Amino acid sequence: STFYFSFAGVGCNSVEKKIYVHLNYTVPCVRLLNATHQIGCQSHLSGNVGVLHVLESEENVDWVLRSGPNPPYLVILESPLFTRSIMMKLKNGSSRVAGVAVVAPSANPLEGVSPHTTCPNENTGVYTENYDPSLAHCNVTVWNPLGSGLSYEQFDFPIFSLKDDNDTQVIRQCYMDHNRAVNGSTPQYPLCAMQLYSHMSAVTDTATCMRRNDINFSISPEMVCDPLGDYNVWASTRPINNTAKGHKMWESVVIAAARLDSRSFFFEVAPGAESGVSGFVTLLAAAHALRNATQEAPPNRTILYTFFQGETFDYIGSSRMVYDMQNNNFAVDLDNVHSVLEIGQVGLRADSRLWLHSDPVSRKNDSVNAEVRKLIESLQTAAKGLNVSVNEPGFSQPLPPSSFQRFLRARPIPGVVIEDHQSAFTNRFYESMYDNAEYLNISYPPNLTPEEQLVFVTDTAKALTEVATVVARALYIQAGGAESQLEGINADPQIVTRMLYGFLIRSNNSWFQQRIPPDFMSHLTDRPTNFYVGVAQQRSELTHLVQYLLANLTGSTANISQDNCQNQREDEKDKESKHMYSYVWVQGAAPPNSTKREGFCVRSTVRLSKALSPAFDLRDYTSKNYSTWTESRWKSIKGRIFLVASHDLEVNFPFTPQRQHMECRFNLHLCFMNFLRFLLTMNWLCTHCRKSGKLDAGIHCSFLE
């Protein structure tokens, strides 16, 4: 049976452990909200309790929803059964479903799985009824045909992901021992049950939860939701005064863009290997390849590297940068933007092909079309002599989901988006938990140590190095550089393979350690980086890592003290450099036979800018132009299993004073039974604690005798 109790007369620390088995590696689905509705999952305030049932096939769903004798059920799903078809049946029969726990597999499935929509960011890109109705709503190309839309459904019960480990074995064994019907017989009590806690504070939509945030009058107000957001990371090949915002005379910039974030159905499980990492690692490697050429033979235009956060949720980062450019709140404005080259999903090239996507609507303008043609020619020139072919799709179609669309919403800017797909995504696991290192075929020979894996150049790293070289050379030509310099512009496979290892295997490695400030060490982990954007109050581990790596890859060592470095100056009298450069003190490597690292200062043009949707600055929580996504707050996320001794106990507990009070008002008989149960429980506790010698000194159980 399941009891929550606290009694001054008895102290026995082992009781809770004897009743419950707590689940260690649980990951919930959480509630998100936008202008119109809420999505995701939640439990009741005191958690959802249900009898465990391991679903063995889709045909077995009817037993849960209709004929099973002990509802509500907490359904355990192996990952192949975590489909839209099954989940919608469970959702529609939710009075008999207490929750769902999905066992995450140790290897990727053979068939494609995407819980995202078929038309990502459908309503916030450039293709609206106002721009070209025939191209809106993915009418021409359905980009993500495998999308089930499951991530955008609302469930009234908790859904957790469980790691396939000892916990899962305990659950399966508990089910087999107690709950599994044998030869059609009804299982007898005690039954194995599970309780999942994931109560969400926010309800309805973003406008409602932001209004509730505003009307808290207490000294420590309790917020119920937070806007999704983070920071964009950017840098330029020439220093740009970042203090003086707005238009820069004589400045012409080529924007090189990539997105950082990804998501999946479950909170903070966002491996994003193909959807995000392949693109931004390529851009980081291209920026490094251009460091020397842009200093020694500077082209006449500036290249602006931009890494956008929150793009998964209606282009948070790119829409904010465009908004800031329009409102003189960024280092340059839209008049300074010459063209855009965006790197999308480039990790799964079939036959070494890359596809160059452009916008058919803006290309109807002759001057835009001429610049797009030049950019395509620059890319074709850049690919010569490399194991990469670059092609146009060969038919008129809109741009795939891309940050560039937000620039086009503002004005017709020439641009190209590089992808590994001609039409629909090559990515079969778009925005799912399976878009991981395994999917990008990042694997290592057996018996390598972590440090040996770090420096092992995988085939994927070699392929992305070629893409990065094409991107770097094309950017150099597009910025006005001489073609004679191209042979000296080459991405480094050692750097690419280390970045892939750091982001997709473990961030806690020697190469990352040497390139970060000492106080960031505790953020490195022995698992892949999480690419979920998170909430706007916090700068994510990912944003920090990209900021520091970009500084190291594009900046130079400044021979100045740690104090001056951290105070953003060359020396004590320097008041000007901070407007043009940023400084970061990194911990460096330890020399041989020493454990003391030799830190140094990196001077670069790397900056952060807000990636918070303008809707929250404008307080326009029903905006149709900008992202309105928020994340609900919660107090507790946990799961546990236990044996429930009878249906009455299963229904009447958790045993809280509030619940007992309600039951006494409505059912005196039930109240009396609860009191008897309480006495029996206390008798068992006293007996158990006496036997184990753990009864607190001076405590008497004589009132039970």
545's enclosing H/E stretch is helix 541-554
- pLDDT tier for residue 693 given thresholds of 50, 70 and 90: low
- pLDDT tier for residue 90 given thresholds of 50, 70 and 90: very high
Min mean pLDDT across 250-254, 339-343, 639-643, 657-661 is at: 657-661
Percent of the chain with pLDDT over 70: 89
Q: How far is CA 107 from CA 409, 430, 432, 561, 678, in A?
A: 41, 16, 13, 49, 47
- pLDDT tier for residue 686 given thresholds of 50, 70 and 90: low
Instruction: Evaluate whether 403 touches 388 at the Cβ level (below 8 Å).
Output: no
Q: What is the largest CA-CA distance in the chain?
A: 98
**Contacts with 379 (C-beta within 8 Å, 6 or more apart), sequence order:** 356, 390, 416, 418, 470, 474
Characterize the bridge pairing of strands 48-54 and 73-78. Answer: parallel
pLDDT, mean of residues 432-436: 96
Instruction: Evaluate whether 119 touches 142 at the Cβ level (below 8 Å).
Output: yes
Residue among 438, 427, 430, 417 at smallest CA distance from 282: 417
In sequence order, what DSSP letters do the residues of 436-503 get, joined into one string?
STTTTT----TT--HHHHHH---HHHHHHHHHHHHHHHHHHHHTT--GGGGGG----HHHHHHHHHHH
Question: Which tokens is 237 given?
Answer: 């090949």
Q: Is the pLDDT of residue 256 over 90?
A: yes
Torsion of CA 237, 239, 240, 244, to 10 degrees: 160
For residue 62, what are the β-bridge partners?
Answer: none
Give the gyration radius of the chain's Cα atoms: 29
Distance of CA 596 to the CA centre of its chain: 35
- pLDDT tier for residue 28 given thresholds of 50, 70 and 90: very high
Residue among 242, 330, 233 at smallest CA distance from 280: 233
What is the residue whose two structure tokens read 């799903």?
77
| Angle value at C-alpha 282, between 278 and 287, nearest 5 degrees | 155
What's the pLDDT at 18?
A: 63
In this predicted model, which residue has the larger pLDDT, 278 or 660? Answer: 278
Give the up-direction half-sphere exposure of residue 417: CA atoms within 13 A in the CB hemisphere. 27
Cα-Cα-Cα-Cα dihedral sign, residues 409, 357, 460, 25:
positive
Average confidence score pLDDT of the chain: 90
Determine the Cα–Cα distance for residues 483 and 434; give it in Å rounded to an integer: 41
Percent of the chain with pLDDT over 90: 79
pLDDT, mean of residues 545-554: 98
The total of other beta-carbon atoms located within 10 Å of residue 521's CB is 12
| Angle value at C-alpha 540, between 538 and 305, nearest 5 degrees | 115
Instruction: Evaluate whether 679 touches 27 at the Cβ level (below 8 Å).
Output: no
**Contacts with 192 (C-beta within 8 Å, 6 or more apart), sequence order:** 51, 52, 171, 174, 175, 177, 178, 179, 641, 642, 643, 644
Q: Is the pLDDT of residue 9 over 60?
A: no
- pLDDT tier for residue 701 given thresholds of 50, 70 and 90: low
Residue among 141, 665, 41, 607 at smallest CA distance from 393: 141
pLDDT, mean of residues 468-483: 97
| Angle value at C-alpha 547, between 541 and 548, nearest 5 degrees | 90
pLDDT, mean of residues 272-282: 97
Q: Is the pLDDT of residue 315 over 80?
A: yes
Give the up-direction half-sphere exposure of residue 335: CA atoms within 13 A in the CB hemisphere. 8
Interval 164-211: pLDDT, tens: 778 888 899 999 999 988 877 778 888 999 999 999 999 999 999 999
Find the helix packing angle between 493-504 and 459-478, rounded to 10°: 120
Cα-Cα-Cα-Cα dihedral sign, residues 491, 495, 496, 499:
negative
Beta strands in 587-693 (DSSP E): 600-604, 607-612, 630-632, 638-644
pLDDT, mean of residues 483-506: 97
